[in-house]
Chain A
């Protein structure tokens, strides 16, 4: 098992190097990046001076090494539009994005499991039919359009829920101000409902189908038949025999889910004017603030890689077969 973890760690490091290369090359792919850093009216001398100052006149591999060196020291460059360290700005927006992603993930998982189980045990009935049909729709609706529709209906027509903004919960919590955090919580959740549903629906639909098919597969196994023929109550068969084994594909999805949801967050935050990394990235894209885009993307990718690693390590613990295979090997 140790060798597996070591291998997995090494692999993550390779991936991190890959991510830094991609974001480094992204800056270079559009031609001389110097022009992003100077005003349109800059003279040739100014451009040349900036190029030297930022090191864009050096060979690519040297530039890459110093880029990585800066990253390691925590220097992600200056945002062009804010004139502040890019990472600081991104980190300020991170808690809001994490709140939204976790909320969406809760929707995507907590609802998917009962819905998937319901569809599987009532296979072929109207329950199954309507759940799978809804899941099919859920996988075909663009998150941002769902957001717009909900703004129209629940926000503007029924006036039930707020359609924009955010109330911080994690920030006061991290600052140790529990009173404010708890006081904010109801309004935090109120502001999260619509964007959370918009971000989470696709995953909810996919997970429901996954839970359903995974459980159906397990229910056909011999050990389930054995358990049933022993006369065990159906509920016990389901929980102790079937669900335990249907878990694994679900665990794998959870980690991948977070990254996927982060991607959806970028678009949905824009729809709801939700002050997270997504909206920040959107603004940075429009202003061609490449260092800010880089910092945002590297941070999100870093979180994603870390979670993937964690999921794989949890997987080893959950699946006894993997331990056995490692033990023999």
Chain B
């Protein structure tokens, strides 16, 4: 009993030092590459905007002020309040709406990956482990989905199901599962025959336990890279769908819908309405892309040579 306990403590200790060493290496790779540090700072700022938006924002996002419509950036109202980034056609503060918009982008981006990742991982594990008809059915379903330009699929379903944040997350999430399923399937196929999986089987572990406790932890790392790039592309899709009017209800400010509204005042050269939400999208998406690159470099330095 004592021996076992000691053994456990030793392994735990070992794991911890290993974890610290990996963490140090992660930070080193990050600082060497420079850009990821900036990306992380931007994402932290976006996350803070999303979490504390209401506290940070100078105004109510839906408060209209018909006297101060289309105010220039940096202009101030009679009561001394400043519209740092200008106001829109209804006199709503652009900065406030940008801060609130961060919520939708981040929430939808991350929740959609959680949905798509979970479906994809489970599908990939089943497909790779069982093979046969299970594999055939799952992979052909994936082929069918990929044969459909994703944005069309999303449009079709949102038109019929109605827009709304949960439908948006669901559609964007389901749109991602195939990528995860394919990668997980390939990894599972090769791990299935490895000795440690054989061993678990010989010890009489249940199939569920083998799949989720023996195989799964060994294939998660590369998925974080995919997930990071994926959040970026989901945020882009969300912005596009919001732009088309298929996103969240109009009362919730999003970067995409702000851009859609900006089109009407474009010819009147109210540039701030079009510039700022776009910059917010680009910075967020760019940061996720840079972080994805960094994660890939960190997890597999060999890849760096090639890409």
Interface of A toward B, CB cutoff 8 Å: 11, 14-15, 18-19, 22-23, 26-27, 29-30, 136-137, 139-145, 148-149, 151-152, 156, 209, 213, 216-217, 220, 259-260, 262-264, 266-267, 270-271, 281-282, 285-286, 288, 290, 293-294, 297, 300-301, 304-305, 308
Contacts and interface: CB of A to CB of B under 8 A. Distances in A.
Interface in B270-307: 271, 274-275, 277-278, 281-282, 285-286, 289-290, 293, 305-307
Interface stretch (B50-58, B118-126, B149-157): B149-157
Main SS class of interface, A: helix
B140 interface: yes
Contacts of B33: none
Interface in B144-166: 144-145, 147-153, 155-157, 159-162
B25 interface: no
B149 A267 contact: no
B156 A22 contact: yes
A246 B144 CA distance: 28
Interface in B233-282: 236, 239-240, 243-246, 256, 259, 262-263, 266-267, 269, 271, 274-275, 277-278, 281-282
B68 interface: no
Nearest to B278: A145
Interface in B128-181: 140-141, 143-145, 147-153, 155-157, 159-162
B159 A26 contact: yes
B152 A15 contact: no
A298 B61 CA distance: 39
Interface residues of B, number: 49
B232 interface: yes
A111 B186 CA distance: 34
Contact of B155 (A18, A259, A297): A297
Contacts, number: 145
23 contacts: A14-B144, A18-B147, A27-B160, A30-B162, A136-B286, A141-B282, A145-B277, A148-B263, A148-B266, A148-B278, A151-B266, A152-B269, A216-B306, A220-B306, A259-B149, A260-B149, A267-B151, A281-B155, A282-B244, A285-B159, A285-B246, A290-B160, A293-B156
Given A15-B147, A136-B286, A26 B156 contact: yes
Given A22-B156, A262-B152, 20 more contacts: A15-B147, A18-B144, A18-B145, A23-B156, A26-B156, A26-B159, A29-B161, A136-B290, A137-B286, A142-B236, A142-B278, A152-B275, A209-B307, A220-B306, A267-B243, A281-B155, A285-B155, A285-B244, A290-B159, A293-B159
B219 to A, nearest CB: 23
A260 B160 CA distance: 22
Contacts of B246: 285
A239 B153 CA distance: 40
Interface in B26-44: none
Contact of A149 (B236, B274, B293, B307): B274
A254 B143 CA distance: 17
B282 A145 contact: yes
Contacts of B277: 145
B282 A152 contact: no
A232 B162 CA distance: 63
A22 B286 CA distance: 33
A213 B307 contact: yes
Select the residue from B155, B232, B271, B289 with max chain A CB neighbours within 10 A.
B155
B244 to A, nearest CB: 6
Given A266-B152, A297-B156, A304 B147 contact: yes
Given A140-B232, A290-B159, A263 B151 contact: yes
B72 to A, nearest CB: 16
Contacts of B306: 213, 216-217, 220
Given A23-B156, A30-B160, A266 B282 contact: no
